[in-house]
Amino acid sequence: MSGRRSGSGVSSISDDQITHLVSKLQQLIPELCARRSHKASASKVLQETCDYIRNLHKEVEDLSDRLSQLLASIDTDNDQAAIVRSLLM
């Protein structure tokens, strides 16, 4: 492929690759699936992807926070086996 160097992955990425990357990512991001796919530019898709990942990170952070508080207040040792069984059902 022209313009592709094996040393650093950042310089001169070909347009084809970017288009391919962008079209695939579009299918994964909920924001972009809802709208018509042809209208999203490469930079918009990449921006949405980054934002989406950051949002997911934030959600997991908030969930960790809640969970750590919940676990601190509950004594789970006795019920652990029962809880695991319920989660698996």
Partner 1 sequence: MPNLEPSPVFKRRKTEGDPVSVHRIQSNQTMKRWTTKREHQIYSSKLFQALCRSRRTSSSTSAKELHQTADRVLAITAKGTTRWSRAILAAPLTAGTNMKKHKRAKVTVHTRLRKPVVNREKRKLPVVERKLKALRRLVPGCRKLSCNNLLEETSDYIVALEMQVRAMTAITEFLSRGEAQAPTDRLGSIGNM
Task: Annotate 3-44 with DSSP letters as a single string.
Answer: T--SS-SSS---HHHHHHHHHHHHHH-HHHHHS-GGG--HHH
Kindly state the smallest distance separating residue 40's Cβ from partner 1, in Å: 13
To partner 1, the closest distance from the beta carbon of 2 in angstroms equals 12
- The letter for the amino acid at 15 is D
- The residue among 36 and 78 lying less far from partner 1, judged by its C-beta, is 78
Eight-class DSSP state of 89: -
Phi/psi at 6 (5° precision): -80, -20
Site string for partner 1, 7-46 (x = CB under 8 A): -xxx--x---xx-xx--xx--xx------------xx--x
Alpha carbons 60 and 55: distance in angstroms, whole number? 9
Q: Site residues (CB under 8 A) for partner 1? A: 1, 4, 8-10, 13, 17-18, 20-21, 24-25, 28-29, 42-43, 46-47, 49-50, 52-54, 56-57, 59-61, 63-68, 70-74, 76-77, 79-80, 82-89
